Amino acid sequence: MRPSEATTRVQSSAIRELFALLSRQDVISLAGGFPSAAAIDIEALKSAMARTMSQTMPAALLYGSVQGYEPLREMIAGRCRGFGMRLDASGIVITSGSQQGIDLIARTMVDPGDAVAVEAPTYLGAIQAFQARGANLVSVPTDNEGLHIDALETLFEQHRPKLLYLIPNFANPTGAVLSLRRRRQVLELAARHGVLIVEDDAYGELFFRDPPPPSLLALANAEERQWVVHLSSFSKVIAPGLRLAWLAAPVELMRHVHLAKQISDTHSSAISQMVGYHFLNAGSIEPALSRARQYYAKQASIMRRAVEAELGKVPLVTVAARGGMFQWIELPGVNTQALLPKAIEAGVAYVPGAPFFADRAGADSLRLSFASATAEQIGEGVRRLAGVFSGAR
């Protein structure tokens, strides 16, 4: 057996390997960014399933189009127009989660050796998808307002990347929000250098108080729009188990995306698409979003207070999460990867920062998620963490 080189060059997910350790019942996981059942409108989803059964049979059971169920795409396009994006149904492809959206773009754009620019740190699943294509990943430093524009310009000039992947809103793992000013600068730079922007907006609607600035796709002028792919997902706002997300791409790229989608899985689960359609069509998304925002805002503030109370004695850098699911922590001088086994021994799990960096920097950082633990678990988990970290210094 000789597996492909592509296979052997992908680093396995640190999160996934961690899961094997988490079967121990007494370990509190602050690791995975999984939406909680408490944040999901289960009754509205059951209604959407009931309408799927009564109104869209047998279509929900048969083969559909590669692009996805057209009434669903029309509804998504209408919502997008409300956010200032110029889109119609033909510009949208339904994907099986936004992980698939990233993978379709990687397949469509990247050959082995091509440079791909990513934020440092960024989403692990994106790093893996680009690695699987043999991309040469180049990292752009970031702060709380997203990526550094000067560094981005230098990188564009030196590496001429095929694309720039970024998470502008409540980024995974840092929670950072790309400022309006930088959004405009990224658009201008990308169009000037001919670099495709892949805007992954999985978390933009999960703001706690103020919505983030408009998406790059909404801000782009006619020329810049030719350089923007927009990914979004219903995993965080309706339910992850549906594996329902979507991708908007420039016309020139679209037929390649359709072909890559066809090769990947023919089309996304029709039943998932129908449930998503009926959920949106019944107007269930706004109440579901209110519920999710309230839930995550409360969880974030519980974690924030616990971190301040318990980790306040340890020199650390954190920024309050303003949306999304994550609290990013930097502990100068502490190797968080090396400490993880001790943390699990002490009954708490987190994700070390290094795997989020394509260049494997960030050894002294870590990601906590407040998405699915209870208030008690968050308090006790952070207390256990504090014990581990203070012992490590």
Stretch that binds its own copies, among 208-216, 262-270, 335-343, 346-354 (CB under 8 A): 262-270
CB of 150 to its own copies, least distance (A): 26
Residue (152 or 260) nearer to its own copies, CB = 260
Whole-number Å distance between alpha carbons of 345 and 27: 8
* Residue (26 or 252) nearer to its own copies, CB: 252
Element (H, E) at 75: helix 70-82
The CA radius of gyration of the chain, in Å to the nearest whole number, is 21
Compute the distance between CA of residue 393 and CA of residue 153 in angstroms, rounded to an integer. 38
Site string for its own copies, 53-92 (x = CB under 8 A): x---xxxxxxxx-x--------------------------
Q: Least distance (Å) from its own copies to the CB of residue 97?
A: 5
Q: How many residues bind its own copies (CB under 8 A)?
A: 79
In the Cβ-directed half-sphere of 279, how many Cα atoms lie within 13 Å?
Answer: 26
Q: 226, 254 in Cβ contact below 8 A?
A: no
- Residue whose token pair is 């340890």: 314
Q: Which residue has the tokens 């730079």?
A: 189
Nearer to its own copies, 112 or 332 (CB): 112
User: For residues 226 and 318, which CB has a smaller minimum distance to its own copies in the complex?
Assistant: 226
Smallest separation (angstroms) from its own copies to the CB of 260: 7
Question: Cβ of residue 367: shortest distance to its own copies, in angstroms?
Answer: 17
Question: Does 21 engage in binding with its own copies (CB under 8 A)?
Answer: no
Q: How far is CA 90 from CA 71, 228, 250, 275, in A?
A: 11, 16, 10, 21
* 270 binds its own copies per the rule CB under 8 A: yes
Burial degree of 304 (CB within 10 A; 0-12, 13-18, 19+): middle
Instruction: Please identify which residue in 29, 68, 92, 108 interacts with its own copies, judged by CB under 8 A.
Output: 108
Q: Which of 271, 314, 363, 392 binds its own copies (CB under 8 A)?
A: 271
CB count within 10 Å of CB 159 equals 15
Closest to 275 measured CA to CA, from 31, 28, 4, 41 = 41
Residues in 189-228 that interact with its own copies by CB under 8 A: 194, 196, 226-227
Q: Name residues contacting its own copies, limited to 156-175 (CB under 8 A).
A: 162
51, 184, 256, 291: which one contacts its own copies (CB under 8 A)? 256
Task: Note whether 260 binds its own copies by CB under 8 A.
Answer: yes
Which of the stretches 204-212, 255-263, 279-287, 321-329 binds its own copies when contact is defined by CB under 8 A?
255-263
Q: What is the dihedral of CA 111, 114, 116, 120, to 10 degrees?
A: 120
Give strand ranges (E) for the chain: 28-29, 92-95, 115-120, 136-143, 146-147, 163-166, 196-201, 228-233, 245-248, 317-318, 326-330, 348-349, 351-352, 365-369
Within 10 Å of residue 112's Cβ, how many Cβ atoms? 11
Whichever of 52 and 142 has its CB closer to its own copies, that residue is: 52
Q: Does 35 bind its own copies (CB under 8 A)?
A: yes
Q: With respect to its own copies, which residue has the nearer C-beta, 255 or 313? A: 255
User: Which residue from 6, 180, 338, 375 is in contact with its own copies, where contact means CB under 8 A?
Assistant: 6
Q: Which of residues 275-304 bind its own copies (CB under 8 A)?
A: 275
Residues 222-241 touching its own copies, rule: CB under 8 A, are 226-227, 239-241
The string of DSSP codes covering 113-163 is T-EEEEEES--HHHHHHHHHTT-EEEEEEEETTEE-HHHHHHHHHHH--SE
Is residue 250 a contact point for its own copies (CB under 8 A)? yes
Torsion of CA 313, 317, 322, 328, to 10 degrees: -100
Q: Amino acid identity, residue 383?
A: R
| 97 sits near its own copies (criterion: CB under 8 A) | yes
> Which residue, 38 or 319, has its beta carbon nearer to its own copies?
38
Q: Would you count residue 263 as binding its own copies (CB under 8 A)? A: yes
| Bridge partner list, 246 | 94, 232
Q: Select 267 or 293, whichever has its Cβ closest to its own copies.
A: 267
Closer of 221 and 335 to its own copies (Cβ): 221
